[in-house]
Amino acid sequence: MRKLIIIAVLLFGIFVNAQEKKWTLIECVNYALENNISIEQSQLDVTLADIDKKQAVFNFLPNLNANGSYGINTGANINPATNQFENNTFRSASASANSGINIFSGLSNWKTLQRAKLNQIAAQYRLDKMKDDISLFVANSFLQILFNREQLKVLQAQNEVTKENIANTQELVDAGVLPQGDLLELKATDATQAQQIIAAENALFIAKLGLAQTLQLEDYETFDVVDQDYGLFGEDILNKGASEIVEKAKEEVNDVKIAQANFDLSEKDLELSRTNYYPTLSGFVGYNTRWASTQINPFTGEDIPFIDQLYLFDGTSVGLQLNVPIFNRLSTRNNVQRSKVAVERSKLLLEQAELDLESTVYQAYNDAKNSKKSYEAALQTEEARKLAFEYAKERYDVGLSNAFDFNQSRTAYENAQSDVIRTKYDYIFRLKILEFYFGLPITDLN
């Protein structure tokens, strides 16, 4: 009985810990990278690229095939052993083995191997880009939860102040110091704040649900992230020039790498299409043998044994085969022209990717700087609104202002607090984007 109690306590402790599990940003990102469906699909593309490379290597080897047949023939048929017509019922069998090797085909095997290697690189770039996209999405979702949580805390704190004011105002109304309208105004504010709290709780739940679904967690109702008020981390990235970040981004961001890999693939496809202009030379070797049930030895008049027939009627073949393309309705020429167009198209896409990256980085840099200004302005506004609210509260408490004016001041202060939270997390995310373009991990929040 004592052992059962100990086990039950341990299991309960494990259950409680599982329920109280709160995820950090790095845990969310790592889990998403291991379980996200889009990443798993990109990983399959990498696996296929690896298989294509293996096949390109094995294409250098000769092939080897074997076949056999067995049949029963009636009536007039050609005896496969003698190649003579026989009007008889007989059984026959044949077997052969052959091997061929590509000696020369315009170096197509070599170029196919090179293309397979390039495709491996491109597939890895696409996988890395998918991981980057998922990481950024997770980071944004994580910060959205933090924003909604802080917003909820502010609303709850504001509502507590309102409830205290209602209690104080009730006493003043009962004493005849303040009119009943002031109390009704505060109660209306309390009801409005209750609605705002419900909306904020719903927004927080939706944000958690979205991140949990991104992580593909089934128990999303208990999912939560660490309850920590993150301050602003290092802003060193803004000390770097936008052009410096652009140059670094060209080395780190996979969009340009993918475009470059696609351009390299298109050039290799052009080389492959040109190999069809060249003649092909292949070698072959083969062995065959046959047997029939009615083979008679002309000297003894007896049936020739099965094993003896295999030796008597076997044969080998060795040779070379040359194929020279002369006219194929211009299909090779047109394929080469198509490949040239594809090269030009991929070249333009590469140039466009570089331009887009440069534009995106400059935009991200300006967004980060403007977000910093917005955050600093919001802090100043919040401080001013706080002083104005405290002054309005003092006047209201001594009966020098009415509830409407007091609520106006409080509403302005509440909006200023919300703006601080919004601009803070917007600024954090803008900084993380810049750091991402500079090749820094996005999982660090200090």
What six digits make up the tokens of 239?
A: 């000390």
CB-based contact 77:86 (threshold 8 Å): yes
Q: Which residue has the tokens 């949990």?
A: 212
CA distance 241 to 76: 92
Tokens 């006493």, residue located: 171
- Does 321 reside within a domain? no
What is the reported pLDDT for 230?
Answer: 62
pLDDT tens digit sequence for 293-323: 776 665 566 777 888 888 888 899 999 999 9
Would 235 be classed as within a structural domain?
Answer: no
Runs of H (alpha helix) within 222-326: 242-252, 254-274, 306-312
Rounded to whole angstroms, the Cα distance separating 134 from 140 reads 10
Instruction: Identify the pLDDT of residue 298.
Output: 59
**Which is it for strands 315-323 and 85-87: parallel, antiparallel or unpaired?**
unpaired
Residue type for position 247? E
Contacts for 253 with CB less than 8 Å, ≥ 6 apart: 132, 357, 437
Would residue 98 count as lying in a domain?
no
Question: CA 241 → CA 248, 365, 372, distances in Å?
Answer: 11, 9, 16
Q: What is the dihedral of CA 257, 260, 262, 263, to 10 degrees?
A: 180
Cα dist. 88→223, 292, 295, 386, 417 in Å?
83, 12, 12, 113, 104
What would you report as the CA-atom Rg of the chain, rounded to the nearest whole angstrom?
Answer: 40
Report strand pairing: 90-104 vs 280-292: antiparallel
Which residue type is seen at 222? T
Q: Report how far apart, in Å, the C-alpha atoms of 37 and of each of 29, 109, 128, 129, 216 are.
A: 14, 35, 14, 14, 9
Structure confidence at residue 238 (pLDDT): 85
Cα 208 off chain centre by: 20
Domain of residue 53, CATH code: 1.20.1600.10
Please name every residue paired with 322 in a beta bridge, in sequence order, or none if there are none: 281
The average pLDDT across 206-222 equals 88
Domain limits for position 200: 1-61+108-230
pLDDT surpasses 90 at 201: yes
Distance of CA 421 to the CA centre of its chain: 30
Report d(CA 227, CA 150) in Å as an integer. 10
Q: Tens of pLDDT along 166-198? A: 888 888 788 877 788 888 888 888 899 899 999
- Whether 5 is in a domain gets the answer yes
pLDDT for the residue numbered 384: 94
What integer pLDDT is reported at residue 169 of this predicted model?
80
* Element holding 375 (H helix, E strand): helix 331-397
**Residues paired with 323 in a beta bridge:** 280
CB within 8 A of 402, min separation 6: which ones? 181, 182, 185, 396
63-96 confidence digits (pLDDT tens): 999 999 988 877 666 766 566 776 777 788 889 9
- Exposure string (b/e) for 111-149, b if CB count within 10 Å is 16 or more? bbbbbbbbbbbbbbbbbbbbbbebbbbbbebbbbbbbbb
Is 190 contained in some domain? yes
Total structural domains within the chain = 1
Does residue 276 sit within a domain? Answer: no
Q: Is residue 324 part of a domain?
A: no
Instruction: Say yes or no to pLDDT of 109 above 60.
Output: yes
Has residue 140 got a pLDDT over 50?
Answer: yes
Residues 134/39, Cβ–Cβ less than 8 Å? yes
pLDDT in tens, 150-170: 889 888 988 888 888 888 888
Q: How many residues does the chain have?
A: 446
Contact 208, 220 (CB under 8 A): yes
pLDDT at 262 over 90: yes
